[in-house]
Amino acid sequence: MIEEQQYHLFLIDIKLPVMNGKEPYQWLEGKHPQLISRVIFTSGSVVTGATQSFLEQTGRPSLPKPFTAAELIAIVRETLQDIER
C-alpha cells in the first residue's frame, strides 16, 4: 500500500499479529527513509528491554495502550508539526 499511496502518518503497533512492529519500520527505513519521521509506535503490552532499546534507537514517539482520543490527537499533532519544520 505504501508503494501505491501517500500517507501522512504511520501508527505502528509493536505487537502485530503476523509480524512485530520492528519489521514494517525497518522496511520503511530501508525503502522510504524520508517517511520514518511520520511513524508513531503504540503497544498494549509490557515493553521488554529489547523493545525499549529499539524504540529509543528510532527516536520515534510511542503511545502506550490504552490511550485516550485526546492523547492520540496530541501525539499526532506534535508529529505532524515536527514534519512541517
> How does pLDDT run across 16-56, given as a tens digit for each residue?
778 888 999 999 999 999 999 999 999 887 677 888 899 99
* Within-domain flag for 54: yes
5 domain-assigned: no
Give CA 16 to chain center in angstroms: 12
**Is the residue at 45 inside a domain?**
yes
Q: What mean pLDDT value characterizes the chain?
A: 90
CATH code for position 33: 3.40.50.2300
- DSSP characters over 4-26: TS--S-EEEESB-SSSBTHHHHH
pTM (2 d.p.): 0.89
User: How many structural domains compose the chain?
Assistant: 1
Rounded Cα distance, 10 and 62, in Å: 11
pLDDT at 49: 85
For the chain, percent of residues with pLDDT exceeding 70 = 99
Q: Is residue 1 part of a domain?
A: no
Confirm whether 16 is domain-assigned: yes
Domain containing residue 20: 10-84
